[in-house]
Amino acid sequence: MSVMRSLLLAASQNRWLRGRASHYKFVRRSVSRFMPGEEVEDAIGAAKILESKKIAGVFTRLGENIADVREAEEVTQHYVDVLRKIREAGLHTEISVKLTQLGLDQSTELCIANVKRIVEGENPDKTVWIDMEASNYVDATLDVYRKVLAQFPRTGVCLQAYLFRTKPDLEKLLALKPSVRLVKGAYKEPAEVAYPVKRDVDESYFSLGQEMLRAQRDGRMFRVAFGTHDTALIQRLADFTAKEAMPKNALEIQMLYGIQRAEQERLATAGYRSGVLVAYGSYWYPWFVRRLAERPANLWFMVKNLFAA
Ligand SMILES: Cc1cc2nc3c(=O)[nH]c(=O)nc-3n(C[C@H](O)[C@H](O)[C@H](O)COP(=O)(O)OP(=O)(O)OC[C@H]3O[C@@H](n4cnc5c(N)ncnc54)[C@H](O)[C@@H]3O)c2cc1C
């Protein structure tokens, strides 16, 4: 892992920096590249524009590790309300939730109940996605996922290609016909649990991706999505689908708002399924710093904003 990435991932967890960051205009200007605004209405506005380009939105409210069950209840109710607003706006947008915002640290049972309450409010043709957080949460997240999936067969979970355990995790999940969004992984993980070298993460991603696409074709997976901006990897996956004579819409790529916009549009126009995760909310600091860690060149973009009018 590069020194810069390590430093930024450590900074993403620093409370003092979090407290200071929102006071600086140049930081807020930089954040606005990656999210349309702090309110769900801002996300709805962005999703309307995306849909006009055949790009589906996926909403996520920023925040992690809430302090008590009251906060978990507030976040649950928030998502129930958001699903209603999405319906009223006539959008195809889905949502992606973090279990530590829904009470995972407080009680697994409570978390399962909260996720089920949210999924019940969703159109049964759509997927509610469950994010994957740091590696110490993987067991608990998959446990909640399996229990929700048993009742709501379209629910999806995120798996991280950087973890050694993901291959066996995927194989076990296949018995349940899951929906999976594959990502590389955004957290600072030790070399005992995750590939430290990027090339190995990329190969793990491609290998898992091929397995998922085959499983989807064979009816062993409900839905497969790839959360990545890596255009070389996307091309390898597209070539694989063509070689296996899969239709273009078997390949679904989801990206983050504001990143690789031209590629998002190119994929949608070419007949692939293209989606964009639109984040909103006031708790953006750790999320934003993880985006900087993914591409330290983004720091220059922030520095430029420091000198902008
Ligand atoms: C839809 C979606 C959902 C996600 N959900 C999760 C989750 O639940 N859990 C989790 O751990 N991680 C999640 N992630 C983050 C993911 O793990 C990676 O950290 C992130 O996607 C960067 O990896 P990459 O696949 O784009 O490849 P990389 O190799 O990191 O990047 C490939 C190229 O994409 C561009 N790029 C990548 N990131 C940025 C950026 N921040 N700014 C500008 N350009 C960039 C650069 O050109 C870079 O060269 C999600 C990502 C997406 C897109």
The 3-state secondary structure of the chain, one letter per residue: CCHHHHHHHHHCCCHHHHHHHCCCHHHHHHHCCCCCCCCHHHHHHHHHHHHHCCEEEEEEECCCCCCCHHHHHHHHHHHHHHHHHHHHCCCCCEEEECHHHCCCCCCHHHHHHHHHHHHHCCCCCCCEEECCCCHHHHHHHHHHHHHHHHHCCCCEEEEECCECCHHHHHHHHHCCCCEEEEECCCCCCCCCCECCCHHHHHHHHHHHHHHHHHHHHCCCCCEEEEECCCHHHHHHHHHHHHHCCCCHHHCEEEEECCCCHHHHHHHHHHCCEEEEEEEECCCCHHHHHHHHHHCCCHHHHHHHHHHCC
125 is catalytic: no
| Tens-place pLDDT, residues 30-81 | 778 889 998 999 999 999 999 999 999 999 999 877 889 999 999 999 999 9
Residue nearest (by alpha carbon) to ligand 1 atom 17: 185
CA of 228 to the centre of ligand 1 (A): 5
CA of 124 to the centre of ligand 1 (A): 28
pLDDT at 245 over 50: yes
pLDDT number for residue 286: 82
Residue 184 Cβ < 6 Å to ligand 1: yes
Residue 254 Cβ < 6 Å to ligand 1: yes
Q: How confident is the model at residue 309 (pLDDT cuts 50, 70, 90)?
A: very low
pTM: 0.92
pLDDT number for residue 308: 61
139 is catalytic: no
